[in-house]
Amino acid sequence: MSKMAAPTATLPPQLAGKFKGSFAYNTIKDRLPLILTKVIDTLHRHRNEFFEEHGEKGIESEKKAIAYLSRLRNELQTDKPLIALTDNLPDSTLWNQCLEYHQSLSDEPPSWFQSPWLYTECYMYRRIHEALAQNPLISDFDVFKEEKVHNFFESQQAIILMSTYLQDILKNVEKLDENLLKKEFLKLLQVSLWGNKCDLSLSAGADSSQKSDPLQSVEELKPFILVDHMEKLWSLLINKKNMNKQTTRLDIVLDNAGFELTADLILSDFLLSSKLATEIHFHGKSIPWYVSDTTRRDLNWTIKQMQAANHKGMSRCGVCWEGYLKNGLWIYHDHLFWTSPHEYCRMAQVAPDLYSELQKSNLIIFKGDLNYRKLIADRKWEFTVPFHQALNNFHPAPLCSLRTLKCDIQVGLKPGQGEQLTNTEPEWMIIGKYGIIQFDAAS
């Protein structure tokens, strides 16, 4: 990854904790310390496990990590200056260059509330990783695994319904005419969208599993899709299929493990089986991130759980999905850029290898809120600014954001739409009630 340059002038300001009463301020003040407290508690509860595996040295590692995280929580709560990483991991230099860049912007040192929220929130998760990395005996421990596992099992009924539904479609997928194919695509796409409600960083790790029937909810939730570009996605994919294009590559930049990941995999299976896509590339996180974000380990664990389930539909999905991975029809990538603090308009410069990989795609789907924040650089754009403009030259391929709104930014709305929502429901941007399927053609 290469160095960063200053952003283009005249862009709107980034969200930050210095704006008192804003969602960023409340997140840094309340939610982030709570997440750190839960991480400390998780390590404490696993001390016997560390002792069984590593003896007294395991306990020593756990104590050191907890002491580090307690200091981190204090730094955050008292708005201390951000400090450089010292763990010498492959991305440490990148993070420290980013810190130097923020130091160069002002006479005041960058701090938790004063610096951009996107940067400081990502920085907190990277520091959690440092707390474990500095204690090699427990460096492989995923402090968020319990919550992700809980979300999967608590969403079991919804997963059973979805896998049964998928297996029923796949029996006759070859015979579906274009109208029926479209109907199923739109339905599964919307389940993938609303699966994004299951976000554990928003709930600070509290239960946010999928309890209701996701298929039944699709029609009820349709009025809450504020930007609906489903027809554009359908046109792109069906045109590629009808052209008998040899390869139609779809990339999905994943968000949460648990129910959302399962919904994404079900959509992916349908796309592959219906030949709307011929290969699917998943992009996940290389370290535990934002509580519930998907890592390679989470993907493998989910597929194993599906295989082992005492339910025919689920186990059939699991066997099939493992086959897709083995045969290279599904490909999983992780890249350090996804857990960097950078907005995506910097990708071509900071991670040119990743940008050129995404340029090979026919369609990139970005799941969730953090991806949206990074797509439009977490800036306080006017509601009516076109999505293409807010992407600020990030156009590797046609792309789409599937997101339920959980932070106070949104672009591409119709004139008056945002203001009307604000009048009727002041917190519409942060409660996860509304969603978008927002497309950009890239050209």
pLDDT digits (tens, 9 = 90+) for 51-64: 999 999 999 999 99
Give the domain-ending residue among 138, 160, 176.
138
Same domain, 94 and 213: no
Instruction: Check whether 28 has a pLDDT greater than 50.
Output: yes
11 falls within a domain: no
Tell me which of 180-189, 192-201, 312-321, 433-442 is least confident: 192-201
Same domain, 134 and 204: no
In this prediction, residue 199 carries a pLDDT of: 52
Same domain, 389 and 418: yes
145 falls within a domain: no
- Percentage of the chain modeled with pLDDT above 70: 95
Instruction: Check whether 211 has a pLDDT greater than 70.
Output: no
Instruction: Check whether 15 has a pLDDT greater than 90.
Output: yes
Euclidean distance between CA atoms 109 and 348, whole angstroms? 28
Same domain, 422 and 293: yes
In this prediction, residue 202 carries a pLDDT of: 47
CA dihedral sign of residues 344, 346, 348, 351: negative
What is the domain count for the chain? 2
244 falls within a domain: yes
- Which CATH number is 254's domain given? 3.40.50.10880
Query: Domain range holding 223?
Result: 150-440
pLDDT confidence tier of residue 2, bands split at 50, 70 and 90: low
What pTM was computed for the model? 0.95
CA dihedral sign of residues 418, 213, 372, 102: positive
What pLDDT, in 10s, does the model give residues 367-401? Answer: 999 999 999 999 999 999 999 999 999 999 999 99
Please give the C-alpha separations between residue 73 and each of 130, 241, 357, in angstroms, as whole numbers.
14, 52, 37
Instruction: Check whether 8 has a pLDDT greater than 70.
Output: no
Same domain, 154 and 123: no
In this prediction, residue 213 carries a pLDDT of: 84
Same domain, 78 and 184: no
Give the domain-ending residue among 138, 167, 183.
138
205 falls within a domain: yes
339 falls within a domain: yes
Same domain, 120 and 168: no
- Percentage of the chain modeled with pLDDT above 90: 91
Q: What are phi and psi of 384, to 5 degrees?
A: -90, 0
pLDDT confidence tier of residue 198, bands split at 50, 70 and 90: low
What pLDDT, in 10s, does the model give residues 414-430? Answer: 999 999 999 999 999 99
Same domain, 214 and 361: yes
Instruction: Check whether 249 has a pLDDT greater than 80.
Output: yes
Instruction: Check whether 204 has a pLDDT greater than 60.
Output: no
Same domain, 69 and 170: no
Query: Higher pLDDT residue, 2 or 421?
Result: 421
Q: What are phi and psi of 307, to 5 degrees?
A: -60, -40
12 falls within a domain: no
What pLDDT, in 10s, does the model give residues 141-177? Answer: 999 999 999 999 999 999 999 999 999 999 999 999 9
Same domain, 186 and 127: no
16 falls within a domain: no
Same domain, 76 and 164: no
144 falls within a domain: no
- Which CATH number is 103's domain given? 1.20.930.60
Same domain, 248 and 304: yes
Give the domain-ending residue among 98, 114, 138.
138
Contact 279, 249 (CB under 8 A): yes
